[in-house]
Amino acid sequence: MKFHIPTRVFFGTGALSQASPYIANLGIKALIVTGRTSARKSGALDDVMQLLDSSGIKWHLHDRIGENPDLEMVISGKQDFLDHGCDFVIAIGGGSPIDAAKAISLAAANDLDLDHIYDTASFLYVFPLVAIPTTAGTGTEVTPYSVLTDARPQKKAGFGSDLAFPAIAVIDPNYTISQPDQVTLNTGIDALSHLLEGIYSIKRNPLLYPLIFEGIRLIIENLPLASTTPDDYHARESLAKASMYGGMTIAHTSTTLHHSIGYPLTSVHNVPHGLANGIVLKPMMDLFYPAVSAILDRLWIYLGINRRQFYDWIDGLDMKADLHLDEEFMAQRIPEVLASRNMANNPFEVTAAQIRVIYQSL
């Protein structure tokens, strides 16, 4: 058993000012990588610019990362980084800007072109990254993963490299308060999937069980409240913690079919990542339960509920996606799911027929 997270984490109200001496040591000019809205709306972007200005650190803003970032976005970020003489990256936002920033930093440090962004063997160097999440879900601020879309076959896939761990994570729950209710819900379910996949994965690790059990408890007790009462700080803090625990979990166990099966729903049908995980959550648990029942039964005892009650809780969330997956989708996407890297982590070998049954149920 081993536990390894090389990221220096600052958590809670005021996390950014606690992190400031460490951030100031990272370099002389930062590329600030964001999407179009949440970095500004959350207040995090203003705070970061103020901090850099007062520390005498130069910066350039790259605010063009869209949902499900593709490889072209990474290359354009790399160009901006190099053109402006940056030497570290600060990413603010949901999973998309942070994952793109990991790839931008690696692409700039190793001069990667479009065809080598997934090629972890070419990763020798990295520029330091500060990750500041504005959602509570992906946990990417403490993982070595970057999920990107390759627009050429329109496929969502990722890479993992120890070099991609952020140097610093600044997790201030206040930055998540401005998220719309539906985003809060979807991202919270993403975190729940990560925690459950820490149980499903064959790389499961008892050192992580306290994080997994507590993370799931925090989500069950706080997600419905946070998605209807956005400014409830305690609920936001609980979800930010659960998200970080989920990230620390999959940093060790990787994800499984639960994530692989959701990727085509996102790349083909634009279902948000967390929602894609949410609509398959019950069938996934039904499929994997026999293989991991001993641990899940311990989880129910910890939570004081049973599997039926857990399913009722899921049903009580407003998670719907009106999908009618046709034969063309099945023919193209089931082989893609079977070929994905995460499939090596399932607790048993999953068949095409089992995937088809889950897709047909949506």
What does the binding site for Fe ion look like in residue numbers (CB under 5 A)?
Answer: 190
CA distances from 176 to 46, 73, 235, 326 (A): 15, 24, 11, 37
- 80 or 197: CB nearest Fe ion: 197
Closest chain position to Fe ion (CB):
190
Listed residue (90, 98, 89, 168) closest to 136, CA to CA = 98
Q: Give the nearest distance from C-beta 290 to Fe ion in angstroms.
A: 24
- What is the distance, to the nearest Å, from the Cα of residue 233 to the centroid of all Cα atoms in its chain? 21
- 172 or 190: CB nearest Fe ion: 190
CA distances from 273 to 94, 153, 188, 260 (A): 11, 18, 11, 11
Q: Give the nearest distance from C-beta 154 to Fe ion in angstroms.
A: 19
- 70 or 190: CB nearest Fe ion: 190
- 139 or 173: CB nearest Fe ion: 139
> Residue 135 — φ and ψ, nearest 5°?
-125, 160
Residue 23 near residue 130 (C-beta atoms within 8 A): yes
- What is the distance, to the nearest Å, from the Cα of residue 208 to the centroid of all Cα atoms in its chain? 18
Q: Give the nearest distance from C-beta 98 to Fe ion in angstroms.
A: 12
Q: Give the nearest distance from C-beta 211 to Fe ion in angstroms.
A: 16
Q: Give the nearest distance from C-beta 93 to Fe ion in angstroms.
A: 15
Residue 244 near residue 9 (C-beta atoms within 8 A): yes
Q: Give the nearest distance from C-beta 264 to Fe ion in angstroms.
A: 14
- 59 or 263: CB nearest Fe ion: 263
- 20 or 266: CB nearest Fe ion: 266
> Which value, to the nearest 10 degrees, does the dihedral of the CA atoms of residues 147, 64, 101, 245 take?
-60
